[in-house]
Structure 1
Amino acid sequence: MKITKITVQKKRKDRYNIFLDRGNGEEYAFSVDEGVLIEWQLKKGMFLTQEQEEEIKASDFKKDALNKGLQYLAHGMKTEYQIKDYLFQKDFPEDAIHDAVEKIRSFGYINDKEFADAFVRTKMNTSDKGPAVIKEELKNKGVHLSIADLALQQYSEDKQLAQAIRIIEKKGKRKKNESASLVKKRLTEGLLRKGYSLSIIDTALKEADLSHNEEDEWLALCSQGEKARRKLNKKYEGSTFRMKLKENLYRKGFSLSLIEQYIKNTEEEK
């Protein structure tokens, strides 16, 4: 096979179209990166075997994979797994992906430990996520768990506690007629979803300023109690009514002693 013509692509000045004569006249054969063109010293009149053509194409796949990987890195730090997955989605063959990743690593552009350290610092400073959620995100990005654990050491318990307290004081405002117990339950569930441990949450709830007082609790109980009474009066009476009322208010997070006082007061008013 003879190279009959080499032209620069119109949209990609770093890529060249190779035309071959395989015995039936000139035809477009394939395109290559400028680096591959130079590496193989391709020029008009040069003869290629079928094996050489396949090797040139393989070289071009590797070069293109490398370029695509570097372009992907230009948008920010990435893990080795992310680069491999990105190139896989671009339909590069496994050997081209492996070669590209090895070269990028040799350039010093891939370092999962540095990535994990930077990722944890960013999440600590710009989000309210706890360590468990951050660890899961690192896992999803292909970071080995041992590397993630090392990176998370910078997220000390003191820092976790301070963050949890800030979240509690921001989200801890009592909703209309909400018991203090339900407020804590709501906050606990929210912090667990964000990745904080129960021990950190318990300490944060004790140290945070929730500004909940006995008067607020009593007023909330009275409001919830009146709603429950109107609903239950239609179905129950006597001791069954009192039992159902207790159950209703207890599920809403009020203490039994406060519920007993409320029931006693309402019965005395009759």
Structure 2
Amino acid sequence: MLITTITSQKKRKDRVNIFVDGTYAFALDLDLMVKHRLRVGQTLSDIEVKALVKESELAKWYNQCLNLISLRPRSKQELGDYLTRHEVGELTQKTVLNQLTAKNWLNDEKFAEWFVEQRLTFRPKGSRALQMELKQKGISTDIIQEVLTKHLDETTQIGLARQIVAKKLTFWQKLPPLKLRLKLQNLLLRRGFSYAVINRVLEAETAATSDLT
């Protein structure tokens, strides 16, 4: 099998098309071409071609996943789902994810830390909601418990719930007391706060309101 032509891809200048015996055979990352010193006129065996195609496929999806991680941290399940949607084979998926994990680009514990910090900063939620969201991302129960215990004790949750209540009171303060309490309770439940936290926050709010009347 003779390499007859090597051309750069139009959309991706970091990849080249390899033609064997006058026919397109496979695409390859430019750095892999340099690594293997491929050139026009070089003869390849069928085994060598298959090995190059496999290595190119791994490099392609590794770099694709790395690009996603560069935008924001990802969980292992998120990247696995991404590869599955693109019909990447199971063995290739496993190899890519293992390589990313080995280089610490993929770390579910770090992802969970980042995810919880983002939620607490931009859209506060209770531990129940965060636990459910992290499970949907494929995070293990042990990691979820460790991260939530670290970042979301009861005192922190009460503070977050009070912030949410304070914002809503601006719009709901003229509602009858029972209706107001019900709306606030349902809001906090939807945000994933426990009944214990909700009751403490609403009781404190009721007491504060009573002091003003």
TM-score (norm 2): 0.88
- Which one has a bigger Cα radius of gyration? 1
Q: In the alignment, does 2:195 pair up with 1:194?
A: no
Cα distance per residue 1:65-124 (max 9 Å; x no partner): 111011111101111111222222233222222222122122221111111122212212
1:104 equivalent among 93, 100, 104: 100
Question: How many corresponding residue pairs?
Answer: 210
Q: Answer yes or no: is the 8 Å Cα contact 2:73–2:114 preserved in 1.
A: no
Which residue number corresponds to residue 17 of structure 1?
17
Which residue number corresponds to residue 211 of structure 1?
209
Q: In the alignment, does 2:87 pair up with 1:86?
A: no
Q: Answer yes or no: is the 8 Å Cα contact 1:3–1:18 preserved in 2.
A: yes
Q: Answer yes or no: is the 8 Å Cα contact 1:7–1:16 preserved in 2.
A: yes
Where does the alignment leave 5 or more consecutive residues of structure 1 unmatched? 216-270
Greater CA drift, 67-76 or 86-95: 86-95
Q: In the alignment, does 2:52 pair up with 1:52?
A: no
Q: Which letter maps to 1:79?
A: S
Q: Which letter maps to 2:127?
A: P
Q: Answer yes or no: is the 8 Å Cα contact 1:6–1:16 preserved in 2.
A: yes
Which residue number corresponds to residue 142 of structure 1?
138
Q: Answer yes or no: is the 8 Å Cα contact 1:165–1:207 preserved in 2.
A: no
Which residue number corresponds to residue 158 of structure 1?
155
Q: Answer yes or no: is the 8 Å Cα contact 1:8–1:15 preserved in 2.
A: yes
Q: Which letter maps to 1:67?
A: N
- Find the residue that maps to 1:129 and give its secondary structure: coil
- Find the residue that maps to 1:61 and give its secondary structure: helix
Alpha-carbon distance between aligned partners in 2 of 1:68 and 1:85, rounded to the nearest angstrom: 13
1:1-270 superposed matches below 5 A: 1-21=1-21, 26-153=22-149, 154-172=151-169, 174=172, 178-208=175-205, 211=209
Where does the alignment leave 5 or more consecutive residues of structure 2 unmatched? none
Q: Which letter maps to 2:187?
A: G
Which one scores higher on RCO, CA 8 angstroms, separation ≥ 6? 2
Alpha-carbon distance between aligned partners in 2 of 1:104 and 1:68, rounded to the nearest angstrom: 11
Alpha-carbon distance between aligned partners in 2 of 1:14 and 1:167, rounded to the nearest angstrom: 49
Greater CA drift, 120-129 or 74-83: 120-129
Alpha-carbon distance between aligned partners in 1 of 2:98 and 2:152, rounded to the nearest angstrom: 31
Q: Which letter maps to 2:209?
A: S
Q: Answer yes or no: is the 8 Å Cα contact 2:2–2:20 preserved in 1.
A: yes
Cα distance per residue 1:100-156 (max 9 Å; x no partner): 212212222111111112221221222231111111111111111211111111211
TM-score (norm 1): 0.71
* TM-align CA RMSD: 2.2
Greater CA drift, 4-13 or 142-151: 4-13
